[in-house]
Structure 1
Amino acid sequence: MHGRLKVKTTEEQRIEKHKQQQKKLAAYRMGMKQILSTRSIDSYEPESLAICTQILSGNPDIYTLWNIRKEIILIEIEKSKSNDIEGEDQLTKFLDNEIGLTETCLKSNPKSYGAWHHRYWVLLHHPNPNWTREFNLISMYLSYDDRNFHVWDYRRLILQKKGETLENEIKFSTNLLNENFSNYSSWHYRSTLRKLDADTVGNELTLVQNAVFTDPADSSAWFYLRWVLSHPNIPCGDKEEALESFEQLQELEPECKWVLLAKCWLTGSLCLNDKKHVDKRVEYYQQLIKLDPQRKGQYEDYLKAAETKKAVGDN
């Protein structure tokens, strides 16, 4: 009817989408051909570099193009050495543009391995790298997605360059975890910072117990708990108290397998000093087989080991 917009059919939309994809593919192939045909270890064509920038802005996961850009940067570094007056300024401007490209790429894909690796590599070759700016940028990215492990890995690298104190990083980690206990990346990052000893293990145990009591179904804090419990500096008395608290938690969360697993972890070390825990450990694995049948075989293996230890103890 007159005045009414024609709605394309599904088939028409599919055909149009296919044509657009083929057009992009043809442009990509032509661009890659141009870049690869002019690749050289001694010089480069600005036109090819511009095409490379355009392709990476749309797809930052083409490692070959990042490697080509590294070769070009090395060429620019050599050129800067032959120009004592303006060489460093020109190189700085060139590398700043390169850093800007990685920011563009990370906006389209914040989890691009190539973009993160290239950014750090460029900064290492930069005459005046701004590590403080990088540190602030990391905080911004974590505010967007605090589970982006690429950002956490990058933070560890920048931390060494900026010289941030361990105390401040521990405080930063604690604040993030208090905002969101359900963050495996934050827990893992904390484990790379915190060297457990007799002075710190108690605080870590308290922190992670608060987390698992807040959300018993979330697995991230439980894995950190297991790491803390594996440390030899935890007194048996603290382990006994933790076991008692998990007994109470199980009454509130009878269907949570993580509570039973934590009790198995605790009794695994406690039974070395007190045989009463051997029987409890057997009982816990029997409960896990019923509660989590998908991992029945795994628990049955653990149960056999626990029963063997029990039989040896009885004899």
Structure 2
Amino acid sequence: MHGRLKVRSTEEQKLLKQKEQQKKLRAYKYAMNQVAATRKEIPFNKDSLMLCAQVLSVNPDVYTLWNYRKEVVLQQLEMSKDEEVDDALVSFLENEIKLTEQCLLDNPKSYSSWHHRYWILQRHPKPNWQQEFSLITKYLTFDDRNFHCWDYRRLIINKIGISLCNELNFSTERLNINFSNYSSWHYRSTLRKLDSECLEEELELVQNAVFTDPNDSSAWFYLRWILSDRNVTNEKREELLESLTQLLDMDPDCKWILMAKCWLTGSLSLTDNHFAEKRIMDYKKLKELDPLRKGQYSDYLECAKKAIGTEK
């Protein structure tokens, strides 16, 4: 009909998709064969390097092609090592950085792209680490769950010497925006060792998170990490246990609250059977709430029973 768009049938769409895939496969095979055939050439083959970039911009996880590009970079560095830094070398390395940026826009979680970017910067005669830091901060405001960004940030701060206080503030800011973030919690755990001075601050932050959304698991794992520290006193554990007991009254079917109570009573049961008995009750409830892990809880339950010498 005039004025109406033609809608392709499912079969037509399938055939078009297959043709597109075949086209990409032929281009990929051609590029791989070209690189393999010219890989040892000195100076490097410019056509191969161009084909390599085209493939990586579509599929940035072909680490063989990244390795080829590293070999080319090493060639360029070898040619310039006894001379002053020239604009041609800097321009060449900047193009490598731009390629990784293009690849990361397509796949922000590409291991190979992140690795290649940092590898290039380490060999760059004039690396702009401050610019990298600003860029990664911007990335994390868009997607603060990308653990590659957090790992990369940890590498960059070692280059620019940012203060611990500033980095902790940034971490707190991201967590306050979104508590449900494994990567951000993990990053925070790498910033400093827990001690009696910072322990209260960390406990307050994680308690705010678990009380905000008790069913989100990310903050509970951070809490478990905190509780593994020897600076957490029994008095603080009992205080936290009381808070979790109150939280459980509001959300009696939350398995994470019960698990956290077991972590706490487990560390206290060595000196007080009262806590071991509470732990037994909680594991029995967990078997009901989380049947997929019933066997695991049964094992924990047996250990708890042995702690007080009962088979009840």
Fold shared by both chains (TM-score > 0.5):
yes
Check conservation: 2:140, 2:149, Cα contact below 8 A.
yes
Tell me the equivalent position of 2:272. 274
Tell me the equivalent position of 2:188. 190
Check conservation: 2:270, 2:307, Cα contact below 8 A.
no
Distance in 1 between residues matched to 2:245 and 2:24, nearest whole Å: 60
Distance in 2 between residues matched to 1:224 and 1:310, nearest whole Å: 29
Report the alpha carbon displacement of residue 43 of structure 1 after superposing the two structures with TM.
2.4
Structure-to-structure mapping, 1:35-46, within 5 angstroms: 35-40=35-40, 42-46=42-46
CA 280–92 in structure 1, closer or farther in 2 if over 3 Å, else same: same
Distance in 2 between residues matched to 1:307 and 1:53, nearest whole Å: 62
CA offsets 1:114-161 (integer angstroms, 9 cap, x no match): 100000000000001110011011111112210001111101111111
Check conservation: 1:202, 1:234, Cα contact below 8 A.
no
Distance in 2 between residues matched to 1:197 and 1:139, nearest whole Å: 28
Distance in 2 between residues matched to 1:162 and 1:5, nearest whole Å: 56
Check conservation: 1:56, 1:62, Cα contact below 8 A.
yes
Tell me the equivalent position of 1:201. 199
Aligned-pair identity in percent equals 60
Tell me the equivalent position of 2:293. 295
Report the alpha carbon displacement of residue 292 of structure 1 after superposing the two structures with TM.
1.3
Report the alpha carbon displacement of residue 8 of structure 1 after superposing the two structures with TM.
2.8
Over the aligned positions, Cα root-mean-square deviation in angstroms equals 1.7
Distance in 2 between residues matched to 1:2 and 1:155, nearest whole Å: 56
Report the alpha carbon displacement of residue 281 of structure 1 after superposing the two structures with TM.
1.2
Letter in 2 for 1:34: Q
Is 2:121 the counterpart of 1:126?
A: no
Check conservation: 2:276, 2:304, Cα contact below 8 A.
yes
CA offsets 1:20-60 (integer angstroms, 9 cap, x no match): 22122112211221121111163211111111111111111
Aligned to 1:311, the other structure's residue is in SS state coil
CA offsets 1:237-259 (integer angstroms, 9 cap, x no match): 11111111111000000010011
Tell me the equivalent position of 2:225. 227
Report the alpha carbon displacement of residue 204 of structure 1 after superposing the two structures with TM.
0.9
Tell me the equivalent position of 1:249. 247
- Count of matched residue positions in the alignment of Structure 1 and Structure 2: 312
CA 197–41 in structure 1, closer or farther in 2 if over 3 Å, else same: farther
Distance in 2 between residues matched to 1:254 and 1:2, nearest whole Å: 63
Structure-to-structure mapping, 1:1-315, within 5 angstroms: 1=1, 5-40=5-40, 42-82=42-82, 84=83, 87-311=85-309
Range that drifts further, 120-129 or 166-175: 166-175
Letter in 1 for 2:239: E
Compute the TM-score of the two structures, normalised by the length of structure 2.
0.96
Report the alpha carbon displacement of residue 172 of structure 1 after superposing the two structures with TM.
0.9
Distance in 2 between residues matched to 1:169 and 1:144, nearest whole Å: 18
Range that drifts further, 161-170 or 270-279: 270-279
Report the alpha carbon displacement of residue 106 of structure 1 after superposing the two structures with TM.
0.4
Distance in 2 between residues matched to 1:161 and 1:276, nearest whole Å: 52
Distance in 2 between residues matched to 1:272 and 1:90, nearest whole Å: 68
Check conservation: 1:80, 1:90, Cα contact below 8 A.
no
